[in-house]
Amino acid sequence: MGRWVDRDSDSDRLPTGFERIHYDADTQQYTFLEKHTGKYYQSAPGNRYGHLQPIASSSSAARTAREASTAARDVDGQNEANKKDMRESARALLPFALLVLIVLLLLFRYVNSAGETEVEQVHCGNGFDSIQVQKGQTCWEIGETYGLGVEELLNVEGNEDIVCEKLRVGQGICVPVV
């Protein structure tokens, strides 16, 4: 492969006004169109560039070249239509993709926030200590354990905001020091 192969283009190598429009793999010949006159030319077999020979306009090679040129334009038009359809399809999917992304973010946030429940700090008065409510405990059971009634337990300094009907596991409550 030559050193300047990447710079071998039709515009550099062909005469002004010529365009390569077809390649016949059976004969290994390129067909060119001169844009100014509309005449067709063929290269020598096996050569991309070099001496170009005119083709009679009624020959089958000229017809094949015209058909190939038309087919190439049709393919280009079809490619443009496909690109447009692809953009429209992608545009139609964007709201759905955005919705899926939002749902995933919310799910991720929900899963990560499950372990972040804060334990409320209870400030108990002198002679009292804070305990955490265990599963199944009630105000009455806690009061009985520490020798207090429900009303006495609720009147202890630090238990002002305790509502026995809404007692939660892990909630702090003040009890007398034993």
Q: What is the CA radius of gyration of the chain?
A: 44
What pLDDT score does 64 carry? 65
Whole-angstrom distance, CA of residue 25 vs CA of residue 124: 95
Instruction: Tell me whether residue 97 is in a domain.
Output: no
Asked, for residue 17, whether it belongs to a domain, the answer is: yes
The total domain count for the chain is 2
What would the mean pLDDT of 37-43 be, rounded to a whole number?
86
Instruction: Say if CB 59 and CB 71 are below 8 A apart.
Output: no
* Domain stop point among 15, 46, 67: 67
Label residues 130-157 b or e (16+ Cβ within 10 Å = b).
ebebeeebebeebbeebebeeeebbebe
**Is position 75 within any domain?**
no
Containing 40, the helix (H) or strand (E) segment is strand 40-43
Q: Which of 32, 51, 67 is the last residue of a domain?
A: 67
- Picking from 67, 89, 116, the residue at the C-terminal end of a domain is 67
Residue 84: inside a domain: no
For residue 49, tell me if it sits in a domain.
yes
pLDDT of 96 reads: 93
Q: Looking at the domain assignment, is residue 41 inside a domain?
A: yes
User: If we measure between CA atoms, which residue out of 174, 169, 128, 135 comes closest to residue 154?
Assistant: 174
Check residues 48 and 33 and name the one with the higher pLDDT: 33
What percent of the chain is modeled with pLDDT above 90?
Answer: 18
Q: How far apart are CA 161 and CA 61, in angstroms?
A: 98
51: domain range?
5-67
Q: Are 40 and 57 in contact (CB under 8 A)?
A: yes
* Residues 6+ positions from 117 with CB-CB distance below 8 Å: 170
What distance separates the 2 farthest-apart alpha carbons in the chain? 119
120 occurs within a structural domain = no
Which residue did the predictor score with more confidence, 41 or 76? 41
Q: What is the CATH number of the domain that holds 164?
A: 3.10.350.10
Write down the pLDDT at residue 103: 96
Query: Does 87 reside within a domain?
Result: no
Q: What is the mean pLDDT of residues 91-103?
A: 93
φ, ψ for residue 135, nearest 5 deg: -60, 130
Mean pLDDT, residues 40-58:
78
